[in-house]
Structure 1
Amino acid sequence: MTMNSNAEKLVLVTGGSGFIAVHCILQLLQAGYRVRATLRSLSREAEVRAMLREGGVEAGERLSFIAADLSADANWKEAAHGCTYVLHVASPTPNQDYKHEDEMIIPAREGALRVLRASRDAGVKRVVLTSAIGAIVCGHPSQKTPYDEKTWTNVASDRTPAYQKSKTLAEKAAWDFIDSEGGGLELSVVNPSGVLGPVLGPDYSHSIHLVKNLLTGKMPGCPKINAGFVDVRDVADLHLRAMTHPAAKGERFIATAGESIWLVGVARILKERLGEAAGKVNVKEVPNTLMRILALKNPTAKLMLPLLGMVMNTTSDKAIRLLGWSPRSTEDAVLATAESMIRLHLLDQ
């Protein structure tokens, strides 16, 4: 496909200020597309343009913005109008102080359905939904083989945290919508593991906080948590492949760089490769019993409890095989995260 043919096409990216979304916008603009991005508040337009500049792209008039909120109907029809593709990257921010899990589940599900309805009505060809491995790996007895796209998180399990439930139920609702009332609309889904990689500004993913907390010494040790990681540049690349590749229609794709690792492994990568900059990184593992005591007063520690000791290994073989996707290594993703945070002086904030 030539750049010129892409210039005719408009792509909607929801939640345009988010970490994954900005990298998607960057790669869409580099591929010659025009982009419209939704923001909850248009006051963030300058910030998004600054992040794109940090990523090496002056967006100019090829990028426009529209105010739209996942929790309300206003402007979604206008947002999808004239678009060939939609990347639904936005997700309601997890609220750590929720009283009931429905406070996370309902907005995620209703938001996805709003975007899909608007896309169908506007004659969009395909929506790519950003889900998560949280919709795949939770609530199962531990297994030796890596999880793949055929598995769904068990939302009935008391070991499945509310955020992961919300991702699962939102994705299921999206597939059900396509089956029952999608019309000609196509759907592909990307399920990233922990997203790391170059930070372009102050808006970044939960996984980035992990690296930040290790580098600043705020994490006095590593909880026994196992996770896969992936570079945000590769997540964006997979979104673009899922958007246009004929084989991606009706499929979900795990995005992970390789074998999952324990958190202490992330700490060791930083320690071994960053020298002085990793002076505050602690490579000790925190016993599970201590984590349970900390969780009594610390909401972040409490969120980690259901994940202690669980092996969260997944495979991206499907994306590699069907779409020709080729991700960077976990080590590269970890280092790119740390180096960008140091360069942008984000460790002091």
Structure 2
Amino acid sequence: MVDSLVLITGATGFIGAHVVNQTLEAGYRVRATARPPKVDALREKYGGKVDVVGIADIANGDYSEALKDVDAILHIAAPLPGKADAAGMIDGAVGGSLNIIRQAAAKGVKRVVLTSTMLAMLNLDNVASIVFDTSRVMTDKEWNPATKEAALSGERDPAWIYSAAKTVAEQEVWKFADEHPETDITALLPPVVYGPLADTNIPKGDFGAMSMDGFFYSNVFPKGGSSVEIAPQFDAMPFFLYTIDVRDVAKAHVLALKAPLEKEVGRKRIVIAGKPISWLDAVEHLRATRPDLAGRLPDTSKASRRPIASVDLSRAESVLGLTEYIDWKDTVDATADSVLAVEAAWAKADNDN
């Protein structure tokens, strides 16, 4: 119910910051966790509106203080690709999820919402044949076959390891759910997330802090601008063609706080996704609406589009009531404004020095 106390992990991240804002706007009381170095900044940002608790290790930390009087949890925190080795990625994703859920269950917290990913549905060893099969409709019943053992083999790239870590983490959470039916769990599976940054105060060159907006920036506004050809999006990873606005991801988290109990609707593994946005779509939209950026945008004369498989979003509609998504053009505009604001801040810092 509104006015309940909601604990949000990963509150300083791209998605987490929007979730905090929308949870507050919905009338909930919010407690957020952050790594100790970020606690003071988070407290300063929200003042007395958010209670902030430091958690140094999400996989092994003690959540006793954070869970006091909590009614529900939005667990968003997870290691990012390339920020840790395979063992650290697995431990952060799997251990991080199980640690807080186990402690929450012991404290009697009944509702947990987990941020998973559409990557947990896709076989990355065969992703092109899945994504470009236009006769296919992907559903929440599909699973990435990646295993913990394969991720730890040392033979996989960071994106594959990340997908494996998120997949195994979600599978372990569902095992826990089966053993603890008193805990209502929802897993949300978004694709690539673009949209406005909640905070454009980002250290210079830290593209990781921009999350997926960093990929948008480097491909929609590449070095060399109109003198270079646009990169084929599906060469990076076909999965990049599926997108959603970060504001819709946050909206889904808040809606999940009021969704029917699991025993009434079955396992709540819910895919959320907006209209696919290709970098080609983004560039052509900006070229048409923002002529001042023409010199910054890559050459698209040789680019082409490829139709992709559709995604069944019926569970998001029936369980969450999520029936509308932000128009992709609004997402492109907001993302462009954010990354260009970061760029301007970096340039100003250089000039000031």
Aligned to 2:205: none
Aligned to 2:191: 193
**2:139–2:271 Cα contact (<8 Å) kept:** yes
- Trace 1:289-328 onto structure 2 (pairs within 5 A): 311=308, 313-325=310-322, 326-328=324-326
CA separation of 1:97/1:61 partners in 2, compared to 1, >3 Å: closer, same or farther?
Answer: closer
Structure 1 residue 188: deviation in Å?
Answer: 0.2
1:212 to 197, 213, 217: 217
Structure 1 residue 212: deviation in Å?
Answer: 1.6
**What's the TM-score once normalised by structure 1's chain length?**
0.79
1:110 aligns with 2:124: no
Percent identity among equivalent residues? Answer: 27
Distance in 2 of aligned mates of 1:285 and 1:207: 25
Structure 1 residue 39: deviation in Å?
Answer: 0.4
Question: What SS does the aligned partner of 1:161 have?
Answer: helix
Q: Which amino acid aligns with 1:10?
A: L
Aligned to 2:296: 280
2:123 to 117, 134, 138: 138
User: Which stretches in structure 2 are left out of the alignment for 5+ residues?
Assistant: 151-155, 203-208, 348-353
Distance in 2 of aligned mates of 1:205 and 1:146: 31
**1:67–1:75 Cα contact (<8 Å) kept:** no
Aligned to 1:255: 272
Q: Which amino acid aligns with 2:122?
A: V
Aligned to 1:148: 139
Structure 1 residue 84: deviation in Å?
Answer: 0.5
Distance in 2 of aligned mates of 1:253 and 1:228: 15
**1:195–1:205 Cα contact (<8 Å) kept:** no
Distance in 1 of aligned mates of 2:137 and 2:210: 24
Aligned to 2:112: 127
Structure 1 residue 267: deviation in Å?
Answer: 2.8
**1:187–1:251 Cα contact (<8 Å) kept:** yes
- Give the length in aligned residue pairs: 311
**1:211–1:334 Cα contact (<8 Å) kept:** no
Aligned to 1:64: 51
RMSD over aligned CA atoms reads 2.9
CA separation of 1:186/1:87 partners in 2, compared to 1, >3 Å: closer, same or farther?
Answer: same
Q: Which amino acid aligns with 1:102?
A: A
- Trace 1:28-47 onto structure 2 (pairs within 5 A): 28-47=23-42
Q: Which amino acid aligns with 2:72?
A: Y
1:270 aligns with 2:270: no
Distance in 2 of aligned mates of 1:200 and 1:320: 26
User: Which stretches in structure 1 are left out of the alignment for 5+ residues?
Assistant: 51-58, 288-308
Aligned to 2:70: 83
Distance in 2 of aligned mates of 1:44 and 1:247: 33
Structure 1 residue 315: deviation in Å?
Answer: 3.7
Aligned to 1:18: 13
Structure 1 residue 151: deviation in Å?
Answer: 0.9
Q: Which amino acid aligns with 1:222?
A: A
Q: Which amino acid aligns with 2:216?
A: V
CA separation of 1:37/1:135 partners in 2, compared to 1, >3 Å: closer, same or farther?
Answer: same
